[in-house]
Structure 1
Amino acid sequence: MKVEVRLFAYFRDGREKKSILDLAEGTTPREVLDAIKIDLDEVSIFLLNGRDILLNEADGKLDNPLKDNDVIALFPPVGGG
């Protein structure tokens, strides 16, 4: 199955800002993070098809299997003043 991954801010350093991953059926969002070598603790916003799945991490959405053509967008914490 194909899943699009979009990275923002410093997550793009040394990586493509947008890529299409060819993944095995049953792959979870958590496994995508492992594959692209980003720790969950580094992610501030994790959008799956436009919905933040980190808002209520206890619901288990990070471990639900992805579907073909899902879109993941990852944002690190934003700093500044």
Structure 2
Amino acid sequence: MKVCVKLFATFRNGRFKEKLCEYEAGTMVSQVIKELDLPEDQLGAVLINARHVEGDQELKDGDSLSIFPLVGGG
């Protein structure tokens, strides 16, 4: 299945901004995060098709997965 993966802010460093990726049916969000070697302790918002999801959410063909790091500031 094809999923559009979008990375934001510091997660783009050394990776990509947006990429159409091929995954096997049944792939979970957490598997993609692990495959991209994203630090889980720095995960902020994770969205599928603009809706907040958890790591155990299963991806479907045509989904758009957006991954944001934690935001700091003051």
Higher strand proportion: 2
| Same fold? TM cut 0.5 | yes
Q: 2: distance between equivalents of 1:66 and 1:79?
A: 29
Where in structure 1 do 4 or more consecutive aligned residues deviate above 3 Å? Answer: none
Q: CA deviation at 1:80?
A: 2.1
**After alignment, is 35-44 or 68-77 more displaced?**
35-44
Gaps of 5+ in 1: 55-61
Task: Provide the residue aligned with 2:50 in structure 1.
Answer: 50
TM-score (norm 1): 0.82
Aligned positions of 1:12-31 closer than 5 A: 12-31=12-31
Gaps of 5+ in 2: none
Q: CA deviation at 1:39?
A: 2.9
Number of residue pairs the alignment of both structures matches: 74
Aligned to 2:58, which of 49, 65, 75? 65
Q: 1: distance between equivalents of 2:46 and 2:67?
A: 5
Identity, in percent, stands at 41
Tell me the alpha carbon deviations over residues 22-54 of structure 1, each in whole angstroms, 9 at most, x when there is no partner. 001111111010111113322110011111114
